[in-house]
């Protein structure tokens, strides 16, 4: 980093006027400590160990309580049990779910970070974009340089198409969407308020071949991708179009970076799919299901509504609604952890040093998203 010395520190999300402690309390329903300064102005957020006097922090875990005692933060969202650790200069705000309240305030302080913006500072259509004469763009669409929009494509009002993105023929994109740089979207219908981050490929061929000793004949993929409202898709994710029915992503679902979704997959509403998951063709995932990192799903299985799959699990059969499965091949959580315990007992009996109880053998369970900070 020595080469950066002397350069001005870049801030990619500019601070505005901020919020007072009184305003933060009103927005979150927090109870303020009697010694809190209601007029203190907060303009940013940070962590306990790096915060400045004009920044907000949160505390919701005992192991971080000592950091509160030495923080320079101006205000802290936490629970009353941590009040004894607070120095006098920190305005304490007590809430039941500190991190949830912290996220809410972060969105108020930095609204421009809620979705990607134009990478070129474009307003309207930038020079260098190639838009077919039959494409239809509603009012307020922003198109960066290098974008290609094909014949009969439709883009809804206030949607942003970032540099280098390709929108194929007949694709429909709803209103208030954001399509990231170098994304490629074909054979797809996309709803409103959808965010597609950089480098995604949506609507390409699924992987289908009729195999034989002489040659592998391609199975045509003639379906579509349907992405419903309020979906967010992380960078580098690929979503194959359907073979003989549509690939569907349900409303409100959030997909992390580098996820592979095969043809004919149907994902329900408000699901969480964490990075590097691989979802084979014709899988059906119920509403509010969670797949933690690097989960692999075999083809033609179903994951029930509200089910949770632990990190690096391999699922080869149907998972009933509401259950938690872990391991490879995956089993119900209780069976999986019973097996881990038995292996430890056998290792000790054989004179092999078994891992301590505080090791990461249950990392699969810990990796399930709990709205923790990065």
Instruction: Enumerate the active-site residues.
Output: 263
Distance between CA atoms of residues 199 and 121, nearest Å? 20
φ, ψ of residue 179 to 5 degrees: the values are: -110, 120
Neighbouring-strand partners of residue 131: 149
The pairing of beta strand 31-32 with beta strand 91-94: antiparallel
Q: What is the largest CA-CA distance in the chain?
A: 80
> Could you tell me which residues come within 8 angstroms of residue 61 by beta carbon, excluding any fewer than 6 positions away?
none
- Enter the DSSP assignment of 112: G
Strand order in the sheet with 75-78: 31-32, 91-94, 75-78, 55-58, 44-45
- DSSP sequence for 30-89: PEEPTT--TT-EE-EE--TTT--TTEEEE---GGGHHHHHT---SEEEE-GGGGGG--TT
CB 52 within 8 A of CB 44: yes
Q: What share of the chain is helix, strand, coil (3-state, %, to 5)?
A: 15, 25, 60
Terminal-residue alpha carbon distance, the chain: 22
Of 317, 272, 268, 275, which Cα lies nearest the Cα of 295?
275
Of 242, 239, 320, which Cα lies nearest the Cα of 282?
242
The pairing of beta strand 91-94 with beta strand 75-78: parallel
Distance between CA atoms of residues 127 and 145, nearest Å? 6
């Amino acid at each position: 980093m020595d080469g950066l010395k002397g350069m001005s520190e870049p801030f990619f999300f500019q601070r505005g006027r901020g919020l007072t402690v009184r305003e933060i309390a009103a927005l979150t329903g927090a109870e303020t400590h009697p010694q809190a300064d209601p007029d203190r102005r907060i303009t940013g957020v940070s962590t306990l160990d790096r915060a400045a006097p004009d920044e907000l922090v949160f505390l919701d875990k005992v192991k971080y309580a000592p950091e509160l005692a030495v923080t320079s933060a101006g205000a802290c969202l936490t629970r009353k049990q941590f009040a004894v650790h607070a120095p006098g200069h920190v305005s304490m705000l007590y809430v039941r779910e500190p991190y949830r309240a912290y996220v809410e305030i972060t969105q108020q302080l930095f609204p421009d970070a809620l979705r990607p913006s134009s990478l070129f500072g474009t307003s309207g259509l930038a020079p260098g974009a190639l838009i077919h004469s039959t494409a239809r763009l509603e009012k307020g669409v922003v198109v960066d340089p290098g974008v290609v929009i094909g014949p009969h494509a439709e883009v809804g009002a206030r949607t942003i198409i970032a540099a280098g993105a390709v929108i194929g023929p007949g694709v429909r994109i709803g209103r208030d969407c954001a399509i990231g740089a170098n994304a490629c979207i074909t054979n797809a219908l996309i709803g409103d308020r959808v965010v597609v981050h950089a480098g995604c490929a949506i609507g390409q061929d699924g992987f289908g071949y009729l195999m034989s000793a002489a040659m592998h004949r391609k199975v045509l993929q003639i379906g579509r991708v349907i992405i419903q409202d309020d979906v967010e898709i992380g960078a580098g994710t690929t979503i194959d179009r359907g073979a003989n029915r549509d690939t569907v992503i349900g409303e409100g679902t959030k997909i992390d970076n580098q996820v592979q979704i095969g043809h004919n997959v149907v994902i329900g509403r408000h699901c969480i799919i964490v990075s590097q998951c691989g979802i084979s063709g014709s899988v059906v995932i119920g509403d509010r299901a969670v797949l933690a990192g690097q989960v692999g799903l075999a083809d033609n299985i179903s994951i029930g509504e509200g089910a949770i799959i632990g990190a690096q699990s391999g699922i080869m059969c149907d998972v009933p609604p509401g259950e938690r499965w872990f391991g490879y091949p995956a089993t119900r959580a209780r069976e999986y952890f019973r097996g881990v315990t038995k292996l430890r007992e056998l290792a000790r009996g054989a004179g092999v040093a078994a891992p301590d109880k505080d090791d990461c053998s249950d990392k699969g369970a810990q990796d399930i998203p709990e709205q923790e900070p990065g």
